[in-house]
Every structure is written in C-alpha cells, then in structure tokens.
Amino acid sequence: MIRACHLYPDLLNLYGDGGNMVAFQKRCQWRNIPLQILYKSLADTKDFNAYDFVFLGGGSDQEQKLAGADLMKSRDQLQKAIENGLVVLAISGGYQLFGCHYETGDGKQAPGLAILDMYTETGGKRLVGNAVIEMKLDGVPTRVVGFENHYGRTFLDGIGPLGKVLFGKGNNGKDGLEGARYKNVFCSYLHGPLLPKNAALTDKLIRLALKKRGLEPYLKPLDDTFEQRAHTALLDRLGLKAN
Amino acid sequence: MKLLLSSAILTGKLAAKLSRVCGYGGSSFPGLLARLFCPGALKKLAAQVRKGIIVVTGTNGKTTTVNMITGVLQEAGFKTISNREGANMISGITTSFIMNSIASGKIDCDYAVIEVDEASIPEVLDNLSPRLVVLTNFFQDQLDRYWELGKVIGIIRDSLLGQSQTTLVLNADDPLVAQFHRTTCLPVYYFGLAADKNTGKRDPTAREARLCPFCGSLLVYNYCHYGQLGAYSCPDCGFKRPKPQVEAMEAGEEGVYSLTYPGSMVPSIAALEMQTQGLHNVYNALAAFSVSILLGVNLQTILGGLRKYRPAIGRMENFRHGNNQVYLNLVKNPTGFNQGLETLCEDRGAGDVLIVLNDNFADSRDISWIWDVNFEMLAARQKHLQCFICSGLRGEEVALRLKYAGIPTGKIVANASMNQAVRAVLGGNRGSTYIFSTYTALRPVHKIIESLVEKGDKSDQGMPSVS
C-alpha cells in the first residue's frame, strides 16, 4: 500500500491544487493500487519516514507563513526522508518553502526550509498566464501544460529545474527554467491543477512512490483519451505540438 | 460647464443608439465617451438623485440584490434607476445615469440602486457618495485578476473611510464582510441566516476565511450554510458573528422564511415568500429587505416586491422546452457553482447537464477553479442523470474534471460547438435540463436557447447584467 500525505490542505490550496491529490488517488484506484491518504495540517504530528508521497499546494502570504513555520519543526526529518527517496510534489507557495528563503508580497523575507539550494525574491509584475514546459521523464522529453500565477522569482543555485519553458514565464521570467527537481522532489509554479492533464507526470510519481514502498513499479495502462484531449487542447491553442 | 455636461449626455446617448443599431449590447462605451467630454458627468448627475444612492458590491449576488431593491422601491412608488442596463464599472454606471437623464443634464429620480464591481469601488464611491453600501459576501473570484481577496477587501475598506455619511448593510454570516464594522467605524446594519435543520453538519468549504481577519487564528464554526457563511467565532481575540438586526429562519414550507426584524418598538416577525431557488437568494432577499427597512418602506410593500421578483438572465433562469424545464445559470466561482449544483441535485426530475467553460479575460483566464467545484456531488447522483455535455473554449477540461469527479466517461461528451451542445442537451428530452455557463458564453448560450424554446414566464423578462 502506498501512503500519501496531503500537507496543509486547509491552508495551501489556492488554485484548485487539491486536484493533484484527486488525480494521484484516481489513477491508483483505477489500477487497484491500495492507497492511504493522510491529511496533515498545523499542530498535527507528521512522520515523514512513514510516507511515500507528500503533496503541498500554494497559499496566500499569511497562510504560506503559517505552514512554513509549522513545517520548520519537522525540517530535519523531512530532509532525511527526501534523501531516502520520499516522493514530493510542491506547487507555487509550497515550492518556495523548500528554498533557503522567500519573500512575501510586501517585500519581507521569510526563512525557508533550506532543503533545496534555491531562493525566491519578489519584484516587478506578477507572472500570470498559460504555460508549457518540456521536461524529461525517464529520458523521454515530455510536455507539461498548466497555468502560472506568481509574484515570486525563484532562482536555482545548485539544483536542476523541472523543465525548460516553451511558453510562459517560468521560475523568474529570465532564465527560461521552470520548477525544480532534486532526487524524487518535484517543484513547479504550474497549477491548473498540474497532474490531471499531465498524466505521464502523475504516473511517474505513482511509480516512484511504489518503488519507495518497495513494491513493483509496474503500472497498468489506462485509457487516457480525456487527459490527452485536455492536454492537447491547450497546446493547440498556443500553437505548440504534443510530443 | 452646463454645456459640457449636456454635450456629454448627447454624445453618450448617440453612442448608445449607434452601438445598438450596430448590434452591440455593450453598455460601457457611451459612458466612456461621456466621461471624455465631461469628466465630472457622473458626479453631477448623481448629485441630483433626491433621496439617496444605494451601492451594492461583493462577490456574488450583486445583480439579484440590486434588482430586488429596485423592485421594492418601484413597488413603493419611488422613481428609481439602476444599472440594469449592464456594466458595473465606472463607464457602465455613467451610461446608466446618462440613459436616465434628459439632454439638459437633468435627472428625475428618488433613488439610484447601483451594482459596483469590487475593484471599481474607489472611483465610484468618490462620485456617488452613497447613503447605503451593501456588502454581500467575499469569495474567491477570478484570482488571476484580483489575485488576493485581502487586497480587494483592503481597497474597499480604504475607500469607505472617506464616506462619513454612509451606512453599511452587512452580511453578518461572512466574517470577511462583518469585519467592516470595526475597520471602517461606520454605522452598520446586519442581516443573516439562522441555523435550520440542514445546517450544522457542514464544515466551511471556502478557503477564504478560515483565519480571523483581526488576529490570524483559525475561526471556529458553530454551523455553516455554505462557503464561509455561518456562525463563526475567533477563540483568541473574540471576533464573532454579530447578532443581525434582520435574521431569517426556514419556516418549514419550501420557499418561505420567517424573518425577525426590528419593528417600531419590539422585534417583529414577518413571512418572506420567494419564487427563486437557492440559499444564496435568501441572502440577496435579506439584503434587499434590510435596505428597504432602512429607507422606511412599508413592510407589506417590501414583502410584495420580493414575492414578485423574477431571476435575471442566467440566474437559474427558467425556460420551457416541450414538457421539460430548462435552467440557465451563470457560474463565476466555486461557491456559486456549488450552489447551482446543489439545486440540480435536489431536483428529482433533472435529466441532462450542459457546462460551458470559457477562459476569456472576463471569465478568468485561469480555469483551475473548476477543481474547487464539488462535482463529486453530481457523481453521487449520476445514476439519475443521463448525459453531461461539456463545451466552450475549455470544454475538454470540464470533461476531464467530470471524469475525475467519478462520472462514467460514457456519459460525458465534449462538444466544441456551443450551438450543437445546446441542441444536444435540449434534444435529450429526459426531464429538466441544467445549463451552467461562464460569463462570456452566457449571452451566446442564452441566444441559442431562446431560438429553441419559450421562456418559462413571459410576464417578466430578466434584465441583463454583468456581475
């Protein structure tokens, strides 16, 4: 059985981010992969060694700060679990928390978990709009579609991005990179939410979670007609082709 | 100066005529032109309103509340204008005043009831100096434009600080609205909805107001109607739902509510009857009732006016197609959409569903909000529903959302052509049809429906509007 943990579902769920958990859960359910989802928020005991997959969404400044301060209490345990292969998906605000520091809308700096070598600053206009990136999944170039809406500019220091920007702004509107990836940690500014219409990425996360649990990472193919239609509809709109 | 105003009015009227002749329904252009000619046009026209201006703002329920208030005031014999013509930003509001004035710059009315877009409040308040400002509620709405609700609320608060002659009419059940008493220090009048047999079970579903607006602690709820509307209190600083002056309670009979309100000497009770569906419309009626009481309208006139109210375009607007009912509902955010879905699920005769999702600027370019809509409740009733048709620029996304909500893919059809989609859903002929549409698809969908059916009640044509 895979054990997943949705962190701060009441605070970090700004742009339908909960849809990512729905996609993860359904694609396990359709394949009869047993899955337990735990919902953990402020003051709940968190045991990152016991989870295979952890999800964090985005939130407003105030909510992000509350969640960040709470997560700081279990920072070392979380870092150790990540080194041991814990699968993490972190979107926008949740993504920023993993860096060394981030800035809120009023320009104030807040400390991050400093688990990933990156940082976030603010400045200029909000980066808003449809976005497409290309990432590598098991060596295969894969297009990922979504919508970004962030004020923060994230700069990667020693880690790689999730993908290259084909359309949109990405991490900071400058270096053409989007998101971050370290071991089994996947970070992105893309919501939409991200997973439902990017089924290949969802399945990758499920395979990694199975592996983490010590199970055979085999996934029965599903009929992805609906997923592909939603995916290509946006690519067509933006004049891009599917892989 | 006088000459400028009257030429601005003439230009505006001419522009309105032109845009109608050319087939544009758009109503902000004349006001825009008039403001170019005479920037003070709106202020000058508004100053002539004899008894006062009532401004209605908030996320959901603006149009309905304005139409209800206007109905009551007209029933009471007052000459009342409103921006039923449409647009709720500064140009559209200017248009409404121009269309109700004569060329010399004279406007003859007792009241003006004006719906205002939240972001336009500073400019509009400056020009209108309203007697009453109604705040309906604050929900997540088009976050790619108003990216954080707190910012919008701050803008409205700041512009109210300059209005010393204004009384606020506030929804006591929404902590984001009720906070305005303390943040503005203006006189307030609260309305609210008491618990009934269905409340108490639900937890707040909206994410907007989990935190106390004053100290940031998690609010605790005794009961919750929907979204964050309910009886909240803050365990740390003591902020809580204020006792409303006007409070409704379900009377047991469908569509009838018992209202407690301050009578001349003691609290009195009245029976409120409505012909519209949904709890959100009870809130709208409560707002309209409160405004009318504050303006001194006679009780029977108020209740009569509210009883007569018919929904405007896309507010669960009712048509007949053969033997079947067709309902058209505008959707803009998860809370409103959930309300519509609840109504659908309570209708045991519901057969087919059409959802039209566009992602133009006025719809919100970001469509991720559909994942916050509780389509899972449709899945729970899907056995009784025949077909789910999805259309609009992002119809495929709705289809995908429905699949993940648990609706069998065999019942989901994505059809990019709105025309075909509407024909297909009406052609089902399997009981009531529910159509949900985002803003920029509403008029096209409305037009297609009208070409195929007769309106449910011809006695009152709904008035178009924006919110």
* B165 CA to centre of own chain: 25
Mean pLDDT, each 10-residue run in order, chain B (467 residues): 74 73 62 82 94 95 94 96 80 90 89 94 95 93 63 92 94 96 96 80 58 88 89 95 94 82 80 83 96 95 92 84 92 90 90 95 89 94 93 97 97 95 90 94 94 62 39
What is the token pair recorded at A102?
Answer: 């981030």
Q: Give the pLDDT of residue B26.
A: 54
**Quick one: which of B392, B394, B414, B404 has its CA closest to A147?**
B394
d(CA B7, CA B23): 24
Cβ burial B218-228 (10 Å sphere, 16+ → b, else e):
bbebebbbbbb
- Taking only residues 48 to 77 of chain A, the set having a beta carbon closer than 8 angstroms to any beta carbon of chain B reads 60-63, 66
Scan for tokens 């204008």, then name that residue. B81
d(CA B412, CA B434): 15
Cross-chain residue pair B371–A60, CB shorter than 8 Å: no
- Is residue B91 within 8 Å of residue B466, measured between CB atoms? no
Q: Give the pLDDT of residue A213.
A: 96
| ipTM, 2 dp | 0.96
Give yes or no for A108 touching B (CB within 8 A).
no
* Partner-chain residue, chosen from B216, B371, B412, that has the shortest CB–CB distance to A18: B371
Q: Which residues of B touch A66 (CB under 8 A)?
A: 216
Residue in B closest to A24 by C-alpha: B404
Cross-chain residue pair B211–A105, CB shorter than 8 Å: no
Min Cα separation B414/chain A (Å)? 9
User: For chains A and B, what is the number of CB pairs under 8 angstroms?
Assistant: 89
Q: Give the pLDDT of residue B457.
A: 47
Give yes or no for A191 touching B (CB within 8 A).
yes
Reported as type and span, the H/E element at residue A150 is strand A140-150
Q: Which residues of B touch A223 (CB under 8 A)?
A: 409
Residue in A closest to B412 by C-alpha: A226
Pick the CATH number of A2-237 from 1.10.10.10, 3.40.190.10, 3.10.129.10, 3.40.50.880: 3.40.50.880
Min Cα separation A191/chain B (Å)? 7
Min Cα separation A28/chain B (Å)? 12
Does the CA dihedral B205-B207-B208-B212 come out positive or negative? positive
Cross-chain residue pair A196–B401, CB shorter than 8 Å: yes
d(CA B191, CA B247): 6
Cross-chain residue pair B143–A149, CB shorter than 8 Å: yes
Active site positions of B, annotated? 366
* Partner-chain residue, chosen from B210, B368, B396, that has the shortest CB–CB distance to A230: B396
Q: Which residues of B touch A42 (CB under 8 A)?
A: 218
Chain B residues bordering chain A (beta-carbon distance below 8 Å): 143-144, 147-150, 207, 210-211, 216, 218, 365-372, 393-394, 396-397, 399-401, 403-404, 409, 412, 414
Spans of all domains in chain A: 2-237
Residue in B closest to A14 by C-alpha: B207
> Where residue A145 falls among pLDDT bands split at 50, 70, 90?
very high
Residue in A closest to B211 by C-alpha: A63
d(CA B296, CA A47): 62
Mutate to test the interface with A, among B144, B400, B401, B402 (most CBs of A within 10 A): B400
Cross-chain residue pair A22–B404, CB shorter than 8 Å: yes
d(CA B37, CA B303): 43
d(CA A162, CA B362): 32
Cβ burial B22-43 (10 Å sphere, 16+ → b, else e):
eeeeebbbbbbbbbebbeebbe
d(CA B388, CA B400): 12
> pLDDT tens-digit profile of B340-366?
999 899 888 888 999 999 999 888 899
Give the SS3 label for residue B43: helix
- Quick one: DSSP state of residue B204? P
| Domains of chain B, each with CATH number or no CATH | 2-308 (3.40.1190.10), 317-455 (3.90.190.20)
d(CA B213, CA B177): 10
| Partners of B358 in the β-ladder | none
* Partner-chain residue, chosen from A16, A126, A233, that has the shortest CB–CB distance to B147: A126
- Is residue A235 within 8 Å of residue A143, measured between CB atoms? yes
DSSP E strands, B263-397: 267-273, 317-321, 324-330, 350-356, 387-391
Q: Give the pLDDT of residue B108.
A: 94
* Partner-chain residue, chosen from A13, A191, A223, that has the shortest CB–CB distance to B207: A13
Residue in B closest to A22 by C-alpha: B404
Residue in B closest to A151 by C-alpha: B147
> pLDDT tens-digit profile of A72-112?
999 999 999 999 999 999 999 999 999 999 998 778 899 99
* Partner-chain residue, chosen from A129, A223, A226, that has the shortest CB–CB distance to B365: A129
Query: What pTM did the predictor assign?
Result: 0.79
Integer distance in angstroms from the first to the last C-alpha of chain B?
Answer: 34
Q: Give the pLDDT of residue B302.
A: 95
* B347 CA to centre of own chain: 22
Reported as type and span, the H/E element at residue B98 is helix B90-99
Mutate to test the interface with B, among A13, A15, A197, A234 (most CBs of B within 10 A): A15
Angle at B163 between CA B161 and CA B165, to 5 degrees: 135
d(CA A92, CA A136): 20
Counting Cβ atoms within 10 Å, is residue B363 exposed (0-12), middle (13-18) or buried (19+)? buried
d(CA B7, CA B13): 10
**Would you say how long chain B is, in residues?**
467
